[in-house]
Amino acid sequence: MMVLVDTCVWSLALRRQRRAEDPVVRQLEALIRDGRAQLIGPIRQEILAGIAHKAQFDRIRASLAAFPDLSLAEEDYEVAASYYNLCRAKGIQGSNTDFLICAVAVRHALEIFTTDEDFGLFGRLLPIVLHRPPTSRAGSDGDIAPRARERRAHTASDRVPPSDPSTTRP
């Protein structure tokens, strides 16, 4: 399965002083080798925004050039807004980009690779699939964010079905 890689994961891998032994970085490298890592324009923008030095900006931009952006559709933005509204109504906050990532991942049937614990919360309500590196699957209940396990309170029936992403609940 293809995997949409979130900004936080790319940032770990692209740091000047990254640790090669970091399991998140190793997993991203494996996804890249397997041709499974995916990128969208808003994530590319988040990665590049705020880089103060032109040389570093150019180096990172060149590294990312190997990854074409998945196309976004009008529907992705609308679904993202409905996801935002649904989660907010249930007390779960997230950024517009986070919900766009969720919408694109659902439409393209992608897993999401992130270290952002908010996605574990979104997964309580949204039909997203978080990427689990093979080494962490055994003995895990599937959460990428350990604290999110403790906060699981909703059942699967609270989730928005993939076929009806615009449904919101009060």
User: Are 59 and 128 in the same domain?
Assistant: no
Token couple for 82: 């409905």
Pairing, β 37-38 against β 3-5: parallel
For residue 32, the 8-state DSSP code is: H
Same domain, 53 and 127: no
Q: Of 28, 43, 64, which closes a domain?
A: 64
**Does 109 share its domain with 84?**
yes
Claim to verify: residue 54 and residue 85 sit in the same structural domain:
no
Find the domain containing 50 and state its range.
3-64
Q: How far apart are CA 81 and CA 100, in angstroms?
A: 8
Tell whether 8 is covered by a domain. Answer: yes
User: How far is Cα 154 from Cα 159, in angstroms, rounded to an integer?
Assistant: 8
Note down pLDDT in tens along the chain; length 170 residues.
Answer: 999 999 999 999 987 676 668 999 999 999 999 999 999 999 999 999 989 999 999 999 999 999 999 999 999 999 999 999 999 999 999 999 999 999 999 999 999 999 999 999 999 999 999 999 876 433 333 333 333 333 333 334 455 555 454 444 33
Residues 33 and 57 grouped into a single domain = yes
Domain count across the chain: 2
Which residue, 44, 64, 84, sits at the end of a domain?
64
Does a structural domain hold residue 166? no
Length of the chain: 170
Same domain for 60 and 25?
yes
37 and 100 share a domain?
no
Within a domain: 165? no
- Together in a domain, 49 and 99: no
In a domain, 119, yes or no: yes
Does residue 154 share a domain with residue 98?
yes
